[in-house]
Amino acid sequence: MKNAQFIFSLLLLAFLMFSCQKNQQDMESLLPQNGSISQASTTTEEGLARTCGSEEHMNHLMEDATYASKHREKLLRLKNAPAISRNNSSEKIILPVAIHYQGVPNPDRACLIRLAQSQIAILNDDIQGTNGDRNKWNQVAFAFPDTKMGAANLSFQIADRNHPAGFGLAAGGLAVTINQTNGDEDTRWAGYLNIFVKFDTGILGYAPLGGSGNGDGVVIDATAFGAGAGCGTIRPNAPYNLGRTLTHEVGHYLLLDHIWGGGCSRDDGVADTPTQASANYNCPSVGKTSCNTKDLFMNYMDYVNDVCMYMFSQGQATRMTNYVNTSLQHVVAKAASVITPFPELDQNAYYRMTTKWQGTGKSLDVINDGKNNNVHLAKSGGYTGQFWKFTSMGNGYYRMTTKWQGTGKSLDVINDGKNNNVQLAKSGGYTGQFWKVTPIGGGYYRLTTYFQGAGKSLDVINDGKNNKVHLSNTGNYTGQFWKLAKL
């Protein structure tokens, strides 16, 4: 798709307030007139409904001459910068995140932290192209020969140290505030991607079209944050209950317009997304056509239901990455001081795995029962069944094997209908053998699988013996806090 160019004028602004139409101009005047807010003008039985929203939020920001000037500078930097996308690099660009719940009655902090962690895991999977439903693209890709599914090497992590003063957050604890902020900006949290979760917004969410990292961020309605049952009154409602509203709004924050841009006469500024007349809703059929091209409605920047959006294009992934590299480097730089880094896993070394709950006296071990398949916690010692190797499988996932059994057997989730038990199984291309290691503060890590996603974590069962290990619902439980010690 041709590069879209925007113009900002008072005459056009007055027109846009009613029509959501855009015109094509030069890149130097690429100014936001669409897509900075996912607004609902109607409701459904399930809750808020996506519609083509107005541009009040971004247009309001652009009324400030200083803001408008800085925004033009960002667009020029993006235009003039060399092709610096790191999409093909294995090195992740890390952005620190702070989540701010507002107006929550009787908050359950542990539950809200769990919800925040699961939502950020969804965001990372969507941005990095590792989402569990990405294979849907393989079934429809034939209809879009000029489009490839994208993957950006951006990683969003909730900050866990050196928090701003005045919020009562301890070192090692996550940057999650409850009823301590107001509105959609807080300069005390400059240098972070801020997520403000609010009630009764009348919209699913909104964000500036190109965030500044100066304490701004994205707003998500309490009915569209996270997935699953939620926490009390913070409860995602169908059909927007898979966490994709945040993916959509972070796309805006990283300078992605809505997929339809301004209609057939002006696109979204990304070369590999087809021109589209207007927003799509619900779950259209593949082949729906407008502007003489098929609509890429499964894109995160359309308005379809969460279950029907599952991809960014490679052009969008590149645009987001390049925007971070040209305008959010101060946010990237902040990460080093506020985030405990991912472990530098030496793929030629072995690690001992212990939990915060049971301490270093018990290690993850393979049971010598003649089958050598089951795993549990056992007294720490110099046993090769307690020596674990992490082999990268790409996209942040690892295969876990032991020195005792070798690479022929991997830690796996048993597909028994419950998908809770873990054991060693013959190594293969099974998603239950793809483990993600995620920092959760204080030098501890959470282990989840590609098969079960972020909702289930490797855990120690509190059964009186505290030995059995399986997958259980992700939570703020110390039996899910694993320490990796290089041997």
Beta strand pairing call for 293-294 and 351-355: unpaired
Under a CB-based contact definition with an 8 Å cutoff, are residues 94 and 332 in contact?
A: yes
The owner of tokens 């098969």 is 451
55, 73, 249, 344: which one is catalytic? 249
Beta strands 47-48 and 93-101 are unpaired
DSSP annotation of 227 reads B
How far, in Å, are 48, 49, 51, 77, 286 from residue 304 at the CA level? 13, 10, 10, 32, 13
- Give catalytic status of residue 45 as yes or no: no
Give the DSSP letter string of 422-474.
EEEEE--S-GGG-EEEEEEETTEEEEEETTTEEEEEEEE--SSS--BEEEEE-
d(CA 486, CA 125): 27
Cα–Cα–Cα angle for 422, 423, 425, rounded to 5 degrees: 125
User: How many Å apart are CA 143 and CA 140, to the nearest integer?
Assistant: 6
259 near 268, Cβ under 8 Å? yes
- So which residues are the catalytic ones? 249
